[in-house]
Every structure is written in C-alpha cells, then in structure tokens.
Amino acid sequence: MSEFLHLWMDRIDTPIGELFIVADHDGNLRATSWTEHEIQMHRMLRLHYRENGFKLEPSRNPNGLTQAISSYFAGEFAAIDTLPVQTAGTPFQREVWRALREIPCGTTVSYAELAGRIGRPTAVRAVGLANGSNPIGVVVPCHRVIGANGSLTGYGGGIERKRWLLEHESKCQRFELQP
C-alpha cells in the first residue's frame, strides 16, 4: 500500500460489550474490534497498512456505519448485509472473508464446508486461520463457522460472544416472495 490512509474510528455499545468500528474516507468498513482488544486491533492495522501508513481519528457514525451495526444488534439483521467492506490481507484470506459474507444469517457452516465453498476442500486449516484473522467481525460473520461436530470453536471475541451472536441471529427470518 503506497498511499497514506485516513481512518475514522467510532464506538458502539452493544449487548455484549463495546465495539470499535474503523472506516475509511470512502465509507468502507476496515475493521471492528471489541474494545478490550484495542491493542490487537492497532497491531492488525499496522500489519495491514504499515506502521505510519494510516492515521486513525475519532468520528461519530462515519458514513452511517455505526447506526447500521447498532441496528443489527437491535434485531434488524439485514442492516449489515450490504455494508461496504475493504480489507487488506492475502488473496486467500480475502477469498475466505468474501465467502463468510455469503453465509446467511441464522445459519452456520463448518470449516470443511467453508473450504469446499471456495473450491479448496483440503485447505480446512488454512480456512480456519483466515477465519481467525478476519479484521471485520460481526459484519464479516466469522462467528457463523463452527466445528464439524457442531461445537462452538474459537472466536476472537470469546466463545460467550459467539454463542450470543448465534442465538441473536437464530431470530433471523428470511421471507420468500410468493408468486
């Protein structure tokens, strides 16, 4: 990345803790992080955008992203479905992160199923590592990936948050239009 990136950061109170959101000047969500993981978030930003390749400033509701994510937590699940995201990462990681956004609200997939969905059925461990390094939790729903036996496996925000998010999303209702 050769240019300086101006980033805006806001905080959202959620039922499961305070969440940082980081957005760029074009309105793309670049990162989310639970506030107790602020040090890790800054480390990830430096890794993705270089030590002095970005400037992070506070902002209220940058490009409506804070409100959209708040709406998700209030039960308007579709509010995050089309939020624009922009990530760094390797091409493989970005491929996995795109596939995460295709997992419908209220459903889960295994790591093996996710690997199969991207056409790499033997890359289960690599998919797990990419899932674990997702910089945009909740909106890029890494919490929807579970173990092959249905168990809740690791989540950067903690298993209790993962459990809450999945239970929250179990209320998703997808309506099909009737002819």
Catalytic: 142? yes
DSSP string, the chain: --S-EEEEEEEEEETTEEEEEEEETTS-EEEEEEGGGHHHHHHHHHHHH-TTSEEEEE-SSGGGHHHHHHHHHTT-GGGGTT--B---S-HHHHHHHHHHTTSPTT--EEHHHHHHHTT-TT-HHHHHHHHHT-SBTTTS-GGGEE-TTS-----TT-HHHHHHHHHHHTT--PPPPP-
Q: Give me the catalytic one of 68, 79, 142, 165.
A: 142
Which amino acids are annotated catalytic?
142
